[in-house]
Protein backbone atom coordinates (compact mmCIF):
# COMPACT_ATOMS: atom_id res chain seq x y z
CA UNK A 1 0.00 0.00 0.00
CA UNK A 2 1.33 3.48 -0.89
CA UNK A 3 1.44 6.06 1.88
CA UNK A 4 1.09 9.64 0.61
CA UNK A 5 3.98 11.84 1.66
CA UNK A 6 1.94 15.02 1.97
CA UNK A 7 -1.51 14.91 3.57
CA UNK A 8 -3.47 16.42 6.45
CA UNK A 9 -1.16 14.82 9.00
CA UNK A 10 1.75 16.63 7.37
CA UNK A 11 0.07 19.96 8.09
CA UNK A 12 -0.57 18.89 11.69
CA UNK A 13 3.10 18.03 12.18
CA UNK A 14 4.32 21.19 10.47
CA UNK A 15 1.86 23.62 12.06
CA UNK A 16 4.21 24.74 14.87
CA UNK A 17 7.01 25.34 12.35
CA UNK A 18 4.66 27.21 10.02
CA UNK A 19 3.51 29.46 12.86
CA UNK A 20 7.08 30.08 14.01
CA UNK A 21 8.18 30.82 10.44
CA UNK A 22 5.32 33.28 9.99
CA UNK A 23 6.21 35.02 13.26
CA UNK A 24 9.88 35.15 12.27
CA UNK A 25 9.08 36.60 8.85
CA UNK A 26 6.76 39.18 10.36
CA UNK A 27 9.43 40.15 12.91
CA UNK A 28 12.08 40.45 10.19
CA UNK A 29 9.88 42.59 7.95
CA UNK A 30 8.68 44.78 10.82
CA UNK A 31 12.17 45.31 12.24
CA UNK A 32 13.71 46.03 8.87
CA UNK A 33 10.85 48.32 7.83
CA UNK A 34 11.17 50.34 11.04
CA UNK A 35 14.94 50.64 11.28
CA UNK A 36 15.53 51.14 7.57
CA UNK A 37 13.68 54.42 8.02
CA UNK A 38 15.89 55.56 10.92
CA UNK A 39 19.06 57.33 9.75
CA UNK A 40 22.27 56.33 11.50
CA UNK A 41 24.34 59.10 13.07
CA UNK A 42 27.49 58.16 11.20
CA UNK A 43 25.83 59.07 7.91
CA UNK A 44 27.34 56.01 6.24
CA UNK A 45 25.37 53.79 3.90
CA UNK A 46 25.98 50.04 3.86
CA UNK A 47 28.64 50.16 1.16
CA UNK A 48 30.57 52.94 2.90
CA UNK A 49 30.32 51.21 6.27
CA UNK A 50 31.50 47.95 4.74
CA UNK A 51 34.54 49.62 3.22
CA UNK A 52 35.47 51.46 6.41
CA UNK A 53 35.07 48.41 8.64
CA UNK A 54 36.83 46.12 6.17
CA UNK A 55 39.85 48.45 6.12
CA UNK A 56 40.00 48.53 9.91
CA UNK A 57 39.62 44.75 10.10
CA UNK A 58 42.38 44.16 7.57
CA UNK A 59 40.06 42.53 5.04
CA UNK A 60 41.96 44.02 2.11
CA UNK A 61 41.38 41.08 -0.25
CA UNK A 62 37.62 41.04 0.20
CA UNK A 63 35.56 42.13 -2.79
CA UNK A 64 32.42 44.21 -2.31
CA UNK A 65 29.65 43.98 -4.89
CA UNK A 66 25.91 44.44 -5.31
CA UNK A 67 23.25 41.76 -5.46
CA UNK A 68 19.63 42.01 -6.66
CA UNK A 69 16.63 41.60 -4.39
CA UNK A 70 15.64 42.62 -0.88
CA UNK A 71 17.54 41.32 2.16
CA UNK A 72 19.64 39.09 -0.10
CA UNK A 73 22.88 40.29 1.49
CA UNK A 74 25.46 37.56 2.06
CA UNK A 75 29.13 36.74 2.34
CA UNK A 76 30.62 34.02 0.13
CA UNK A 77 33.68 32.47 1.85
CA UNK A 78 34.62 30.48 -1.25
CA UNK A 79 35.17 33.71 -3.21
CA UNK A 80 35.81 36.17 -0.38
CA UNK A 81 32.99 38.35 -1.70
CA UNK A 82 30.56 40.47 0.34
CA UNK A 83 27.34 41.10 -1.58
CA UNK A 84 24.97 43.85 -0.48
CA UNK A 85 21.47 44.48 -1.80
CA UNK A 86 20.75 47.92 -3.24
CA UNK A 87 18.68 49.13 -0.27
CA UNK A 88 21.39 48.17 2.20
CA UNK A 89 24.31 49.41 0.12
CA UNK A 90 22.80 52.81 -0.67
CA UNK A 91 20.87 53.70 2.50
CA UNK A 92 22.44 55.28 5.59
CA UNK A 93 20.10 53.63 8.07
CA UNK A 94 20.45 51.72 11.32
CA UNK A 95 19.24 48.57 9.56
CA UNK A 96 21.91 48.96 6.88
CA UNK A 97 24.63 49.11 9.54
CA UNK A 98 23.27 46.03 11.32
CA UNK A 99 23.03 43.87 8.21
CA UNK A 100 26.35 45.02 6.76
CA UNK A 101 28.17 44.40 10.03
CA UNK A 102 26.58 40.96 10.34
CA UNK A 103 27.91 39.93 6.94
CA UNK A 104 31.31 41.37 7.85
CA UNK A 105 31.12 39.17 10.93
CA UNK A 106 31.06 36.22 8.54
CA UNK A 107 34.05 37.66 6.69
CA UNK A 108 35.88 37.92 10.00
CA UNK A 109 34.98 34.31 10.77
CA UNK A 110 36.43 33.34 7.42
CA UNK A 111 39.58 35.35 8.09
CA UNK A 112 40.05 33.62 11.47
CA UNK A 113 39.20 30.13 10.17
CA UNK A 114 36.32 30.00 12.62
CA UNK A 115 35.72 26.26 13.11
CA UNK A 116 31.88 26.21 13.16
CA UNK A 117 31.86 28.13 9.88
CA UNK A 118 34.35 25.71 8.34
CA UNK A 119 32.24 22.76 9.43
CA UNK A 120 29.08 24.30 7.99
CA UNK A 121 30.82 25.04 4.69
CA UNK A 122 32.25 21.52 4.56
CA UNK A 123 28.86 19.81 4.83
CA UNK A 124 27.23 21.83 2.02
CA UNK A 125 28.04 19.19 -0.68
CA UNK A 126 26.70 16.46 1.63
CA UNK A 127 23.51 18.46 2.17
CA UNK A 128 22.98 18.98 -1.55
CA UNK A 129 23.41 15.28 -2.31
CA UNK A 130 21.58 14.08 0.79
CA UNK A 131 18.42 16.11 0.25
CA UNK A 132 18.17 14.96 -3.38
CA UNK A 133 18.95 11.29 -2.75
CA UNK A 134 16.90 11.32 0.45
CA UNK A 135 13.68 12.17 -1.37
CA UNK A 136 14.22 9.38 -3.89
CA UNK A 137 14.99 6.73 -1.27
CA UNK A 138 12.13 7.83 0.97
CA UNK A 139 9.54 7.77 -1.80
CA UNK A 140 10.74 4.43 -3.16
CA UNK A 141 10.81 2.94 0.32
CA UNK A 142 7.25 4.04 1.04
CA UNK A 143 5.99 2.97 -2.39
CA UNK A 144 7.63 -0.47 -2.20
CA UNK A 145 6.88 -0.85 1.54
CA UNK A 146 10.61 -1.31 2.10
CA UNK A 147 11.11 0.40 5.43
CA UNK A 148 14.89 0.00 5.51
CA UNK A 149 15.16 1.90 2.23
CA UNK A 150 12.84 4.60 3.55
CA UNK A 151 14.95 4.95 6.70
CA UNK A 152 18.04 5.38 4.53
CA UNK A 153 16.16 8.17 2.79
CA UNK A 154 15.44 9.86 6.12
CA UNK A 155 19.08 9.53 7.18
CA UNK A 156 20.18 11.14 3.92
CA UNK A 157 17.48 13.78 4.15
CA UNK A 158 18.55 14.61 7.73
CA UNK A 159 21.61 16.35 6.29
CA UNK A 160 19.38 19.37 5.77
CA UNK A 161 18.41 19.41 9.45
CA UNK A 162 22.05 19.04 10.48
CA UNK A 163 22.93 21.99 8.25
CA UNK A 164 20.18 24.13 9.84
CA UNK A 165 21.44 23.26 13.31
CA UNK A 166 25.05 23.96 12.32
CA UNK A 167 24.02 27.31 10.85
CA UNK A 168 22.55 28.76 14.05
CA UNK A 169 25.77 29.16 16.11
CA UNK A 170 27.56 30.61 13.07
CA UNK A 171 24.83 33.22 12.61
CA UNK A 172 24.62 34.06 16.31
CA UNK A 173 28.38 34.51 16.44
CA UNK A 174 28.29 36.78 13.37
CA UNK A 175 25.63 38.92 15.05
CA UNK A 176 27.71 39.17 18.23
CA UNK A 177 30.69 40.26 16.14
CA UNK A 178 28.49 42.79 14.32
CA UNK A 179 27.46 44.51 17.55
CA UNK A 180 31.07 44.67 18.68
CA UNK A 181 32.33 45.96 15.32
CA UNK A 182 29.80 48.75 15.20
CA UNK A 183 30.38 49.83 18.77
CA UNK A 184 34.18 49.65 18.90
CA UNK A 185 34.50 51.50 15.58
CA UNK A 186 32.13 54.28 16.61
CA UNK A 187 29.43 53.60 14.01
CA UNK A 188 26.79 53.01 16.68
CA UNK A 189 26.88 55.61 19.43
CA UNK A 190 23.41 55.91 20.96
CA UNK A 191 21.10 53.58 22.89
CA UNK A 192 18.50 53.93 20.15
CA UNK A 193 20.96 52.74 17.50
CA UNK A 194 22.04 49.82 19.70
CA UNK A 195 18.39 48.91 20.18
CA UNK A 196 17.74 49.03 16.45
CA UNK A 197 20.78 46.92 15.60
CA UNK A 198 19.76 44.32 18.19
CA UNK A 199 16.18 44.14 16.93
CA UNK A 200 17.27 43.64 13.33
CA UNK A 201 19.82 40.97 14.25
CA UNK A 202 17.50 39.17 16.68
CA UNK A 203 14.78 39.04 14.03
CA UNK A 204 17.22 37.44 11.60
CA UNK A 205 18.27 34.89 14.24
CA UNK A 206 14.65 33.83 14.73
CA UNK A 207 14.44 32.82 11.07
CA UNK A 208 17.24 30.29 11.65
CA UNK A 209 15.43 28.89 14.67
CA UNK A 210 12.34 28.51 12.49
CA UNK A 211 14.42 26.70 9.86
CA UNK A 212 15.62 24.20 12.48
CA UNK A 213 12.06 23.59 13.67
CA UNK A 214 10.90 23.04 10.10
CA UNK A 215 13.67 20.55 9.32
CA UNK A 216 13.27 18.57 12.55
CA UNK A 217 9.46 18.38 12.39
CA UNK A 218 9.65 17.32 8.76
CA UNK A 219 11.95 14.45 9.71
CA UNK A 220 9.60 13.45 12.53
CA UNK A 221 6.69 13.37 10.08
CA UNK A 222 8.57 11.20 7.60
CA UNK A 223 9.55 8.85 10.43
CA UNK A 224 5.89 8.60 11.42
CA UNK A 225 5.03 7.52 7.87
CA UNK A 226 7.43 4.61 8.12
CA UNK A 227 6.19 3.67 11.56
CA UNK A 228 2.59 3.89 10.40
CA UNK A 229 3.39 1.74 7.39
CA UNK A 230 4.83 -0.99 9.60
CA UNK A 231 1.74 -1.02 11.84
CA UNK A 232 -0.50 -1.43 8.79
CA UNK A 233 1.44 -4.46 7.51
Condensed to tens digits (0 to 9), the pLDDT of residues 59-94 reads 989 999 999 999 999 999 999 999 999 999 999 999
Among 92, 78, 49, 225, smallest CA distance to 154 is for 225
Q: Which residues, in sequence order, are bridge partners of residue 76?
A: 81
56: number of Cβ within 10 Å: 11
Say what the pTM is.
0.89
Rounded-to-integer distance, Cα 176 and Cα 134, Å: 35
Give catalytic residues, as residue numbers. 103
Strand order in the sheet with 81-85: 63-67, 81-85, 74-76
Condensed to tens digits (0 to 9), the pLDDT of residues 3-45 reads 455 667 888 888 999 999 999 999 999 999 999 999 999 999 9
Tally of CA atoms within 13 A in the half-sphere of 100 that contains its CB: 34
Amino acid sequence: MFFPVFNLNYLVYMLPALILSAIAQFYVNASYSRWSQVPNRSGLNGAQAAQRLADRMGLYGMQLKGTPGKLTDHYDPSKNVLSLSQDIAQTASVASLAITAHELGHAQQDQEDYLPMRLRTAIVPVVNIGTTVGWILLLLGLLLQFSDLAWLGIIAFSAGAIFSIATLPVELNASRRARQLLKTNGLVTTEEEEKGVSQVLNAAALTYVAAIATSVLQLMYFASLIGGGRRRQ
